[in-house]
Amino acid sequence: MPQEIVDLIGKPHLLAILLAIGAVIGIAVERFSENLKRAERRAFWRSRNSTGRKGRQQSPDTAPKARTQTETASDQLRRVMEANFKARPLLNQSEKRLLAVVDRAVADARPDWRAMGQVSLGEILASEDKEAFWAINAKRVDLLIVDQEFRPIHAIEFQGSGHHLSTETAARDAIKKEALRRAGIGYLEVTSNQTPAQIRTLLQGLLR
């Protein structure tokens, strides 16, 4: 037996210390090796799962929906490319005359405000009720007065002769009027038999 071992046997406390150190080193090496293997296994399965997800087809619920949207856009583009378009005036003659009167009244009373034509309600109104919003989204007002921050202040509708002869037209106007009222936006109806002077008088009251 080597003399070094004999000396250690003669010193049991020193032998115990060396054995403890050896055990700690052995445990550390074993844990390091196990952690390394575990990391390799995780990397393997992560790579495999990632590959599986990439190759997996979309579920029947999502794939047709995306495909339908793409096909719809493609169909619309094809139709537009096959059609002829021409520009047309934003306002008719009566609405243009009304806008001229409104512009002058706004310039005199509120120089920093503006009047705009054919404004979609979906651009100036918002609602958490989706069905209510879609009920007004595509509807428009003939003229809209906005302040210096382009916040809507008053909507103006021109009602020509026989405008309310249709029940459907009256219902559309009622929807617009109620939505604007709930948003705190003024609503003014101007008829074809009102003179520019009468319209200016009405506007002066609104623009104070």
Neighbours of 16 (CB within 10 A): 11
Cβ atoms of 189 and 159 closer than 8 Å:
yes
Residue 207 confidence (pLDDT): 92
Residue 170 confidence (pLDDT): 87
The domain locations on the chain are 3-81, 93-206
Residue 22 confidence (pLDDT): 62
Three-state SS string over the chain comes to CCHHHHHHHCCHHHHHHHHHHHHHHHHHHHHHHHHHHHHHHHHHHHHHHHHHHHHCCCCCCCHHHHHHHHHHHHHHHHHHHHCCCCCCCCCCHHHHHHHHHHHHHHHHHCCCCEEEEEEEHHHHCCCCCHHHHHHHCCCEEEEEEECCCCCEEEEEEEECCCHHHCHHHHHHHHHHHHHHHHCCCEEEEEECCCCHHHHHHHHHHHCC
Local mean pLDDT, 10-residue blocks, the chain (208 residues): 52 60 64 64 54 42 51 87 95 95 96 96 97 96 97 94 72 95 96 94 91
> How far is it, in rounded angstroms, from Cα 103 to Cα 120?
19
Q: Starting from the edge strand earliest in sequence, which strands make up the sheet with 114-120, in order?
A: 114-120, 140-146, 152-159, 186-191
Helix (H) or strand (E) holding 53: helix 12-55
Residue 208 confidence (pLDDT): 84
Residue 141 confidence (pLDDT): 97
Helix (H) or strand (E) holding 93: helix 93-109
Residue 165 confidence (pLDDT): 61
